Amino acid sequence: MSRSMLSPASTGVSLIGAPTDVGAGHRGASLGPEALRIAGIAEALAARGVDIIDRGDLSGPRNPWQPPEHGYRHLGEVVAWNRLVMDAVGAELAAGRMPILLGGDHCLGIGSITAVARHCRAIGKRLRVLWLDAHADFNTSEVTPSGNIHGMPVSCLCGMGPRELVHLGGDAPALRADEIRQIGIRSVDEGEKRLVKEHGLDVYDMRYIDEVGMKRAMEEALDGVDADTHVHVSFDVDFLDPGIAPGVGTTVPGGPNYREAQLVMEMIADSGRMGSLDIVELNPILDARNSTAILAVDLVESLFGKSTLMRD
């Protein structure tokens, strides 16, 4: 599909801020939505002809900054924020608009993807989640080294976790393991690694990407995506190599460089099937002159059709 046929420009796009770091191990991701706005995300998409509306920020509980209880940090607050996100994302999808969630930490993916999965079931579309991240985020309370729920959204979506999150949208699991493709993974805890293998997650880690190249990895991750598929992109900014994206709380060396990241975004754009997007874990406190936010906006532009190449 050519970039001129990309649907978001005609359906409209809504920005939803979720300024919280309740699921994270560092403070500061709560400032991510405003950093993305300052970096010009609305203006950049409007310049591409996208009908863009900024819905502002959701208002949820503050981060109490307490130690874990029964394997989870801030469970009540995480549930509250994810319910807000689920309802806001679901409302935009029901209105025929594409939601872009401005995080906030990655625990918010539970609410966002639960809403997308419900929407897909309601309209009879297949779901493909592209999880761009340095981490598998497949921990549970039994294997987590920290209790931080931003390391657990995929396991919760796949049915493993506290009932309040697993059944956030009623039906559970919200997501089947075969509906997700994880790209850029390079940091997985030992207990988490066992769970990933047991549940058969489709993981394109950096070793595999180094061996076969990003183009082939993305071709495989997008294989089977067609007109009946809704693609949800969950973009954790720590997916990127910290050499180009320092503004995250959980940097892991050896991530995709700028050219590889651009290729990922352009190939998703070429599919023409992206229907929703999360941008999470941006931490301006750890950034240098908002450079990571500016880079994230640049890459999001590529998701909406901006090409780095002289190609029709």
- Catalytic residue set: 106, 133, 135, 137, 150, 236, 238, 281
Q: What is the residue whose two structure tokens read 């979720």?
A: 18
In sequence order, which residues have a C-beta less than 8 Å from that of residue 122 and are 6 or more positions away? Answer: none
- Longest CA span, the chain: 55
Two tokens at 98?
């594409």
How far apart CA 202 and CA 179 sit, in angstroms, is: 9
Strands 274-280 and 13-18: unpaired
